[in-house]
Structure 1
Amino acid sequence: HTSTNKPGAIINLPLSLSILGFFITVISAETQVQFTGQTVFFVNETSTTVIRLVIQRIGVPANITAIVQLEGENTGDFVESVTAAFIPERESNRTVYISVCDDDIPEEDETFKFLLILQHSSLDAKLGLARVATVTILSNDNAFGVISFNMAPFIAVNEPRDRNLSVPLRLIREKGTYGTVTVTFEVNGGPNSPEEDLLPSKGNITFSTGTSLLVYNLTVLDDQIPENDENFTLILTNVFGGAEINSSRSKVQIMIRKNDSPVRFSQSSYMVPETAHVIVIPVIRGKDLTDTAVGSDDVDVSIKYKIVTKNTTASAQLGKDFSDLQPNNTIIFPPKAFEYSLKFQIIDDTIPEIAESFQILLMGDTLQGDAVLLFPDVVTVTIEPNDKPYGVLSINNLEKM
């Protein structure tokens, strides 16, 4: 359809086109203010950290004053929590800078929001969609702590007797205490394998959130093995959960003093003539079978003995074939004493006898002091055949036959 419009004539447009034209006019006449560019930041807490925010004006040119303000309470993490930017009519954007405050306070990851606000805005100036900037300051100033020992670097302990012993290890988590952190440790040294004397020889120690002091118990075992001084080193080896290890206080030396002095006879058997008169049976303390000193020697050690005989012709009888010359049956080793002599008298009679023996037994259940009973703990003493036990063979005078 074609129509000719005369000058001054009224043009009739469809209603839909009239409404569209109205909205185009309104939108084109509006001024919008918003952030442009980066609005999400992850930064470290340093004195040189600065967040750069660009504020953009679009639409109808106008003088605009925009405010960038920290949402919520001012925690002191930024040098300024509020800043303003003026965008004159002839320009379209302004940049504001927000400096991070390096406060030396241990903190975990913290997220903040900065809001864009218009100051004294007219009805024609509005905020766009990008009106919030998010800033995350990463954990800083050892927020999860620095782990170390909080005790003397050297401790000496005695191996317990007939029980185990707990050794408390005191640890400290300095600076921050955010989150759960776990530190691993292991024990080195010897000369024996650490697990023979200490449990556990490796493991984990866990600090829960907010915990700064912790006591971890290590167990010293009663192994009943003769040993000289043993030196072990417990080392903090690794840490999980964001914490660090203070390398200057990451070790503790543990010395287990020499212990479990061996008690035994010097040998397990003796063969003596009936004419020996007095025999000496040495009992040894604090030396192994190679005569090397081992175990503790600075305390009293005592043990009882008993004599064992049998009612047979091959058994020597107490009081008839031999005598016990000790005033009692208790053997006592004072400190630094390594040998005790048991003395027995062999009775020399005129009765023909075959070899006869008796035994001396160290009684382990009577052992007192830091000592253990080792082989040989029984000695057999044999009196040689004597006084012609098998008779005398002779030939009678043949002339009388």
Structure 2
Amino acid sequence: MYELNSVSNRSDFIPSYGELRFVPGDQELEIAVNVVNDDVPEEDEQFRVVLKNPKGGAEIGFGGQVTVLIPANDDAHGVIGFTQGSLSVEVEELTKGNPVSLSVERRRGTFRRLTIHWAANGSLEDIFPTSGVVSLSLSTSLSLMANFHVTFSQGQVVATINLTVLADSIPELKERVTITLLDVTTVGLDQHSSGALIDPQRAQALLTILPNGSPYGLIGWHLDSQYLLTQEPQKSPTNVTLTIVREQEASGEVAVHYQTGPALSKPPSNQASAPQDYTPREGTVIMKENATLALITITILPDEAPELAESFLVNITGVELVGGLTGAAQPSVKRPGMEVAEVTIQENDDPRGVLQFNVSQVIPYTTTSTHMLHNYP
């Protein structure tokens, strides 16, 4: 007689018994046990087959029972990878450190405690820490280097890698950091091959630090162009040149929009009029990659009207990256809404008049030298 007994919980077979009959000449007989194939993650399972109640004078010797082991199967210890929302994350560099969290999940089985090593690659000077350990278990689950711990509740299968995007005063373009899950150890399991696995499709998370500071520059008027004096031309129009500067960084192509307008803060008699005194303009100048200067010209017109000093304004109305690129950091105007150049046409055509004698008649007169008297008719 044989009997299947001592079955573990959630066994994949049904306990049974039967009888083995040896006829003269038989030395071996086989017992077939059907194991159910399923897709349920399971730890090691085992059952025992016991020989008992021999008949016909037979005896049960050494080896009267055998233990059958069904190894852990169907990813019993889990498949590790970043969650979908953590595979690609964009963050900004703030004036202070900006914390960011990446979630690591354990799919399929959740048996045993796991230790996952990870490391960062890329712009390492912008984040902290740059490597660490994630520990997954039913009760404790996260350890990032020293003193980084998170406690998991029963059955929770997600751990968090906490990073800090470090702040600095350096304008920077977009930077990338790749966080890679290097290996996973199933604690207490000798057979490494049957432990938890890292999903190669979810083993890396891309952390993108958006442009920050002013990597595309601060746009404004050159100091010499903020207040410009010019004379009214005598006969034909002349051009005055204004200089736009890009400070800090000079990455990318930048479009600078500008527009002329009246100097409304001055009295009407000191406001230049368009198009009588100058040609109004509304345009855009392109600053190429690494260019720090751009020039624009405004045309001053002649006339014969006597005028006091008159002024008009040239305002930088906006800046943007060429190509429609967007991001946290864009080129910017040094003084938004107030980045104005003032052009003054000096007074011309004798606006205050010309003082002179008006001699219309010559009158004779005599002088007596004795008394210094003047005699007029």
TM-score normalised according to structure 2 size: 0.50
TM-score normalised according to structure 1 size: 0.47
Computing the radius of gyration from Cα coordinates, the structure with the larger value is 1
